[in-house]
Amino acid sequence: MAARAMWKGIIRFGEVRVPVKMYAAIQDRDIHFRLLHRKDQEPVKQVMYNPDTESVVSAEEVERAFINENGNLVILQREELEALKPEPSRDIEVFRFFRTGAVDHRWYERPYYLGPDGSGSDYAALAKAMADGGFEGLARWTMRNREYMGVLRLHAGYPMLMSLRSDEEVIAVEDLEAPKGKPLDERELAMARQLIGMLEAPFEPESYHDEYRERVQEMLAARQAGGKVKLLKPRKAKAAPDIARALEASLKQMQRQA
């Protein structure tokens, strides 16, 4: 099935204008369940509830509040929040270029494909210029009442937008506690290098699956067919051996499988 565009925009930098269509690069594959009343199997729904009056509260009766550091409520009106939303725009403004790979992957949040909107000549020229120069662009755009910051980059020759997390969302590695423990000796290091080398392989994403999702699908298929479901028994945790014994055991196992 052909992909459907979710949004249209115009990549803009300097006097350059490149109309594009945006496509989702990932999709939700979670299995979604309906919530039912156990007694009569009728669907149930979640409602807002006032525990003091034991009554249901409609959406029209709800207002938003922020609890500040002193524990005080700051009441906000819906109209006040609506007024803060960004102005609608179709511009994807690229305001800086840098070398490919300059952005740490911790900042990446969500990928989007970009395709040409109309004539593809300007689109192709942009892709070629970025590929020839080895550049990525820092961009900002407004989509569906939200402002985004992202990286304009190439994947297999196709321009993509990678939305970015803000600096406040990314935890600095310096905030982590430094590793402790005695360093490995040369024998342990040699075994570790050997084991890593034996496990070296190209990344093949098609080889990896959501095994939990597949088990749920198998269970649903068995239930629909009237069969019994075989439940997996949890594995018992084993005491962790010391690093040298663990490396030796791993190498022997890999050698037997070779």
Decide if 198 contacts 254 (C-beta within 8 A): yes
CATH numeric code, 7-25+89-168? 2.40.290.10
- pLDDT for residue 238: 63
pLDDT for 81-103, tens place per residue?
A: 999 999 999 999 999 999 998 99
CA 219 to chain centre: 27
- pLDDT for residue 237: 60
- pLDDT for residue 222: 85
Domain range summary for the chain, segments of one domain joined by +: 7-25+89-168
Decide if 94 contacts 137 (C-beta within 8 A): yes
Q: What is the pTM of this model?
A: 0.78
For the chain, which ranges sit under pLDDT 70? 1, 227-241, 258
